[in-house]
Structure 1
Amino acid sequence: MDQAAAQPRKCPGVDCPNDASTLQCPKCKEQNIPSFFCSQDCFKRSWSEHKAVHKSKNPLRNLLAPKVVSDPDPETGHYNPFPSYDYTGPLRPVYPLSKKREIPKSIPHPEWSESGMPNYPYTRRNKITILDDKGIEAMRVVCRLSREVLDEAAAAIRPGITTDELDAIVHEACIKRNAYPSPLNYNHFPKSHCSSVNEVICHGIPDHRPLEDGDIVNLDISLFHNGYHGDLNETYYVGNKSKANPDNVRLIETTRQCLEKAIAHVKPGVAIKEFGDIIEKHAKSQNLGVIRTYVGHGINTQFHCAPNVPHYAKNKGVGKCAPGMTFTIEPMVSIGSYRDVTWPDNWTSVTVDGKRSAQFEHTLLVTETGVEVLTARFENSPGGPVEMPAKETVTNGDHKS
């Protein structure tokens, strides 16, 4: 970060109103991208969003085969695209990825469906959108449809099914509802949803690995319908062995409870930063760690917007809840370290120690008196809580750095 900006320019940090200084992103410097930030803190805070710029400069990265791959299986043609990568856990990607699935042109597409880039207008970090009655009703509709799609995919989870097969279910379920799957081509993401298995925290790319009895899997679903986005995710047990694993149950049910406790605190006037205190306190009570890199977010006609919603304690989240605002809370909780690394696909985020992670997410509407969970479970939704293990079965996890 030592190259000076040639002219005064705006800082590209998330919702940052400042002018850039002479601090340049090292990766951008390597790629000759003019990207200067106002401060080191702003750069760190904006990293999870900013790194999409690096992806966008290589639009063919998901179309071309990797330069170094393991020997393809002679029967299936499957291979590990990164055989020399030092994986943190036992999970491995199974390529080649299936062909990009298409959405009929008759269904409205978001702006990134062709370019891969959102190209949202600049807004201040504390500029939170308040929806009118029409916008609120549109959010209710898209969030209900998003729940329906998640439930349809979740009902198919079983040992032996691949996450790519789940992606096909998600894709077709979106089309049936005249909706576009928001992740598809968002910053060049190649699939219609994210499937995150075991040590994957988030942004797992659906591939040809069959789910195994004993796995856990998070399905993250987002729909674009009538100009608005809905967003939710849940973590599920795969097979009976998974539910019989006390660490799986402790992790998943605590994460579910973290979200529930945070939602119970939503009402007008509550500071966004308070949710992280609630979430981390409960996670620590079960000796679990909270991932800090990724945040909840505002959502409406934009897929991601203000406010950012950190999930860890003593954070610097900006803003307060106000009637008419819609946003997500989506805690990611780990059995071990809260730190993460990203696979060479530039998407799949995994725990640094290879231990398992779970996540739950809802899209919320702040009302005059409290909160409406727009993506709430239906009475017959698959999954749902199971009984927590007895205290003596809880093992020690390291949620320190």
Structure 2
Amino acid sequence: MLVQDLQQRQSDWQTAWQIKTSRGLVGWLIVAPTRLPDQAPMRQAWLDLIERVVQPCAIAISQIQLLQVECPHCRKLETRIRELEKINQLKSEFLANTSHEIRTPLNSMLGFVQLLHQSQSSELAAHRDYLNIILSSGQYLLALVNDILDLSKVEADRLDLQWETIHVPDLCHSLIALIAEKAHAKGLQLRISFDPSVTTFVADSLRLKQMLFNLLSNAVKFTPSGTVGLSVNLVGVFLHFTVWDTGAGMTKEQQVRLFRPYTQFPNEVVKTHEGTGLGLVVSQKLARLHGGRIEVHSELNQGSQFTLVLPLTPAVGDRQAPPEISVPKPRSSPTAIPGSRDASAPHNLTYRPTAPTTPTSTAPPSALGKPILVVEDNASNARLVLTYLAKLGYQVLWAKIRRSYGFV
């Protein structure tokens, strides 16, 4: 059409044509040449040139417009790809850290089992000590595996809730009893309070215990001294289970990252405690399955407050609970299980006078009486190594891995 129009024009002119492709109108071509040559060969050459230029021009314009339409989608896709790559990297780091978390309790469990096989029947007291360590490591490993399985079930939408009527005061007292030993071993005070109108409601009892136990365990873990508390209040049509402490607290940046899967804090405070950080992620997902959420308010060195907000569903039965109960401290605080996750461990170099028992083999005479330095951050594994070396006739110095000493 363009070429035919040019063939009919004999004078100088300026005009515009629509350029169309199979996708529709792509633009306009404005042509303003001088007078075409009168000679037929030259005139035909100009027309051939224009005809060859128009089609590629139309294709180019069409491709430009297509890119303009698709570029925003490409940018969104690139952003999503970067997000997925970051998540994949976090998963890789998480799996690397988790493999260590799994191996550590297994090492101590298997090691102390070997000691039990090697020891004499007269060592019953030591046997109980070893069994306590095995039990503690096994419980930790089981909790870790449960968190991983629960997270995978929730993400795959394969976790079903079992609804039942729950008596709130009984539930909370049982949870406080579960953490009482570890709390009192650290010298912590425990407090619990209820809204007088709160008695029963409907939820998944097992999952509710799991969420609250995780919050309470974290509060005890990250509170070196002071108080850990649990309060239950009715706010509108929601129940608020608030776990508060006077512990280390968190920065705003840490709070933002708190519920991200596979994210672990790199700061020095958290490095002193074992764990994968999955518990809070799983708890938040369980809360959402209940139609609720977990809120956090914290300030660094000022303690933290985690609130599990769940919708209140009327339930039958009504047993009044006292508005406030103070959990008394036992007359004799139980000692933490030696070598367990929360057992007291030396922060600096600690000398242990490990007089050998009957060794299965002996150390070289030149080594007897000379201390060996064991650098190990896990209390259970350190206890295992110290026990083995003591049986060989060595004396041992134990150092936790601390940046201030340059150990890595």
Higher relative contact order (CA 8 A, sep 6+): 1
The TM-score with structure 2 as length reference comes to 0.24
Query: Which structure has the larger Rg over C-alpha atoms?
Result: 2
